[in-house]
Structure formats: C-alpha cells, structure tokens
Structure 1
Amino acid sequence: MTSDAYPAPAKVNLWLEVVGRRADGYHLLDSLVVFAGVGDCLWAEPAGTLSLAVQGPFAEGIPADGGNLVLRAAHLLAEAVGLPARGRLVLDKRLPVAAGVGGGSADAAAALRALAALWRLEAGEELLLGLGAALGADVPVCLYGRPALMGGIGEVLSPAPALPEAWLVLVNPGVGLSTAAVFQARTGAFAPAGALPAAAPRDAEALADLLAGRRNDLEAPARRLCPEIDAVLGALAATPGCLLGRMSGSGATCFGLYATAAEAREAAAAIAADRPAWWAAAAPILGTAE
C-alpha cells in the first residue's frame, strides 16, 4: 500500500502487580510497560466504505468484521467526531493472538492514529485516550506508546523512569490464554506495589536487578492454566546472557532481558531452532537511552 504505515508494537509488562479490586470487579494494577521493536502494522487509505483486510503470519482466525477491535475503534472515533466511518484498513498480523503482549490493543491504538490522520482530524490526546479506555484497558498505554508506569485499571499513565538500552527475547509457546480466565484463577490477598528506585538503572544488569525486586502477579495463575509457560521460562533461562526471565501481561508470552543485540538474537535463534512450533523474536526496548 502507498499510505503511511502505523506500527503496533508489542507491549511488554516488565512487572505487573495486582494491588486491589474495585467494587465493579475491575482489578487495580501497578505496572512498568515498555514496547518492543517487533509488532503488527496497520495501513489506512481512502475508501467509500469501511473495510478491514488481515494478512500476515497470525492472520488466521482474526475476524475482519465488527468483532475486530480495529473496526470497533474506527466506529467509535467516527461517532465521536460526527463523521461516517470510511477507509480501507489493512492489518499485518505479526504478533501471536491472546499472547499477553497487547496485540489487539496496539492494533486499536494504531487504527485510532491512522484514521485521525486519514480523516484529517485535529483529535487531541485526551479524546483519543478516552476512546482507547472505552475499547480496552491496554489501549491507552498503547496510544501513549513509550515506557510508562501504568496504574488504575490501565488508564492512569505517567512517564517511566529513564531506562537503559536493553534487548528482549519474546517467546510464545503457541497457546492462547484468556486474560479474564487468568485473573479469575488468581488467588490470595492483594499485596501493595513495590517501591520505585531512587535512581534510574544505569545499564541492563541494573534494570534486571530492579525487576527482580518486583513481580508479575498473574504469572502463577497463568502457569497453572498453561504449563507450557514453565518450559518457555526454562528455555529462556538456559540461554547465555539472559539476565531475567518473566511472563508478560496475562501470558503466555514470556520475555528474557539481555544486554546486547547479539546475545538476544542468538538466544531467539537457538530457541526457534530447538522449538520450531514456538514463536520467538529478539527486539530492542523502544524509547530507551541511546
């Protein structure tokens, strides 16, 4: 396509602490969110009607009708600004589905950005973030698009402390996990969020030390529902240079943290060779110090 491409990068929760629950049942979170240099991509071009085509390695099973979050975003934006929903959208689906890396949310955020540009809207951030929150808890942070501290049910965002340059290896065992099911499987009391560091981590090793003092409270219930997560974490831990391994979001994708591109790429290649049915990708953390 000749139109501009709108990236929808993978969202990675470096930590995800569930610190409470509201009266309406929504859980309160404390999370450090970053984005990886791998993800889906969306294009939009003028058309008399609204349509969506889905392509790419994970296109199978993705609805191209009203059930898709991209089209829901388009209709919501059109309604908000009083315009007809028009445009030909093409989504290149490169991230696994129901994988804990916010693929659908990132796609919706990309759609809001793409259509605001296509329709030449002067849509402010407040409007887009409000629409994003109506679409899903992860859409606002995907609109934010840079390292962030995320609170509330996902709508409270603030800049993350400065992060050092570092690389991630993302690995998914080919098993989808329902976010709702993982939250329902969580047991026990809510623990308070950990403290933020007094100083920003100076390098990848210091970042790993910081993350080791935090947690993903959804990892234990996800591992009970999906034992393959244990194998993924074991495979990451066995690779040279892996500073820390953890599940992202509600799973089943896990990440390994590495100091260099070479270590990350070698780890991803080794895991892909050993487990060809898994998805593995090496990518930098976006928006870190150069």
Structure 2
Amino acid sequence: MSVTVRVPAKVNVQLAVGGARPDGFHDLANVFLAVGLYDEVTVTPATELKITCSGPDAHQVPLDASNLAARAAIALAARHGLSPDVHIHIAKDIPVAGGMAGGSADGAGALLACDTLWGLGSSREELLDICAELGSDVPFSLLGGAALGTGRGELLQALPVGGSFHWVFALADGGLSTPAVYGEFDRLTAHAAVPEPVASPALLAALRDGDATSLAQTVVNDLQPAALSLFPALARTLAVGSEAGALASLVSGSGPTTAFLAKSAASADEIASALLASGTCRAVRLASGPADGATVVAPAV
C-alpha cells in the first residue's frame, strides 16, 4: 500500500514585507500563484520513519527529521495518537533552495499522503492548521491556485484568476537562505519607515482578468533588494530576461531563482533560450499557472 501526492511550486507575484515582529517574523501581503512544476511525495508503511529523495539537486535535501515532509508526518501522527512509521520518498522536480517553496510543497504533500494512507479523513481546515504550524508557505502548497497570504503568509484567502500566465524560471548556481534574506532586508531597512504590507488592488484585478500585461506592471518583491545584495550576479540574469522580451523580471520569493513573466508560450521559449545562451544561470524551467494544489495521484489500493 502506498499513496502518492503531486504538489506544485509557487511564484510570488507580490511579496510586500512589513517590519520585523517581536517573534522575529514579518507581516506579509503575499500573493501566491501556483505553477506547473511539481514534486511527487509517496508514503508507504514502514517499521520506522524514513526519508529518501531523487531528482535534480536531491543531494541538497535533508533526509532527517528536519525535513518538512518528516515533520508533517510526525505532526499528523501526534494529533491522532499514531506512530509516524512511514517511508517518505520525494521525487523532486521543484528547484531546491530556490524561493519556489519546494520544501513547503514536500511538507504539504506528505501531510495529505499520510492522511490518506492512514484513512484519517481530516478536513481541509485541520490540514491547513497543521500546515501553518510547519511553515509560512506550507498552507498555500496544500491549497494551490492563487491566494493572498497575510499574517506571516499562512492566513490564506483564495483569489480568482481569469486566465493562464506563462513563466520562465532561471535557476542560479547556488542557493540563498530565507532567514539570511530576511535578515538582510532588516539590515537594509533598519533606518527606514517600513509601511504596513497591503495587497495591490491593481495586481488582484490583473489576476482576476487574466491580463499578463497589467500583471507585469504591478508585480513586486520587497525581498528583491536583499536577495540582490547577497547574490549580486542575479541582476545580470534579470537584465537578460528583460532584454529578451519578458513582461516582468523579478526574484522569486527569497531567491535565488529568478522569474520572468512572458506574454505567450512562444515568448517564454525565446526568453528561456536567451537566458541559457547568456551563461547567467545553470538551467531554465518553463511553467504556467495557476496550478492545482496538493493532489492525490496514486491512492492506496
């Protein structure tokens, strides 16, 4: 018996960041869009909790209890008085440490897979509650589509999307730590008044209307200056994408993956080719969004 769950990557089309809170987190207005790059998480009964991983950059994925997939299994089991004795295998296709919520996706995928395997029938609200305990991006990985995240990003409001948006993602040669990027954000804004984060009405309207040109005029990432400060080479990658016709070029989340909004699938191909030819990134990936959230694709039989 095993259960496999497919779970998507995300891009932040708006990431508005407030000042540091007393708990060390930041209030956010975080507009998530799920995109069609996926990890698949398979859980199988075992004598003890075990994590394995395959796929690009699998060697960078922790295989101990710090992995969000392991933490998800442990948290769900604890709520129901169970022992988390499962083998969790992650077939990884979402870039690792790339600002696309790959670890969060694995946590959401493992949570849904274990719930299905164990026949718990937890409600979506119960699963989202556990997701919020695991991390700020984990609830959206379960939900998918598009959503506004407030609080530290875990309080979600689903958003309507009127069409499909085409993206190119350039993978950097190296990684960035999310805590380090937030720390650099705090350093860069230490002597500035940081406004309260709010979602852009124009951006929400562009999503609703499926208007890529209008969306490009409103995308913003408040963490981008911090990511560029820690990883200056990303500026050249962004410039290459813009020169190749991207409607918008931005760092994805905390980076170092850079995201390029294209006007069409054909334009996305041209942008991808230019990025590869430039030598400013180690690989490119194309995907469109919105994409569905965590979905059982191979249930127990």
TM-score (norm: length of structure 1): 0.90
2:217 counterpart SS class: helix
| Aligned equivalents of 1:62, 1:265: Cα separation in 2 | 29
Q: Which residue of 1 aligns with 2:54?
A: 55
Distance 1:195-1:57 versus aligned 2 partners, 3 A rule: closer
| Aligned equivalents of 1:132, 1:236: Cα separation in 2 | 34
Q: Which residue of 1 aligns with 2:236?
A: 231
1:220 counterpart SS class: helix
Q: Is the 8 A contact 2:7 2:142 kept in 1?
A: no
| Aligned equivalents of 1:209, 1:11: Cα separation in 2 | 19
**Deviation at 1:46?**
2.8
**Count of aligned pairs between the two proteins:** 283
Stretch deviating more after TM superposition (146-155 or 266-275): 266-275
1:116 counterpart SS class: helix
Q: Which residue of 2 aligns with 1:207?
A: 215
Q: Is the 8 A contact 2:2 2:45 kept in 1?
A: no
Distance 1:91-1:166 versus aligned 2 partners, 3 A rule: same
Q: What are the within-5 Å matches in structure 2 for residues 181-192 of structure 1?
A: 181-186=180-185, 187=189, 188-192=192-196
Aligned residue identity for 1:208: A
Q: Which residue of 1 aligns with 2:284?
A: 280
Distance 1:128-1:194 versus aligned 2 partners, 3 A rule: closer
**Deviation at 1:4?**
4.6
| Aligned equivalents of 1:175, 1:83: Cα separation in 2 | 39
| Aligned equivalents of 1:29, 1:146: Cα separation in 2 | 19
Calculate percent identity across the aligned residue pairs: 37
1:31 counterpart SS class: strand
**Deviation at 1:139?**
0.8
Q: Which residue of 2 aligns with 1:159?
A: 158
Q: Is the 8 A contact 2:128 2:142 kept in 1?
A: yes
Matched, 1:253 2:257: yes
Q: Is the 8 A contact 2:237 2:275 kept in 1?
A: no
TM-score (norm: length of structure 2): 0.87
Distance 1:252-1:54 versus aligned 2 partners, 3 A rule: same
**Deviation at 1:162?**
2.3
Gaps of 5+ in 1: none
Q: Which residue of 1 aligns with 2:274?
A: 270
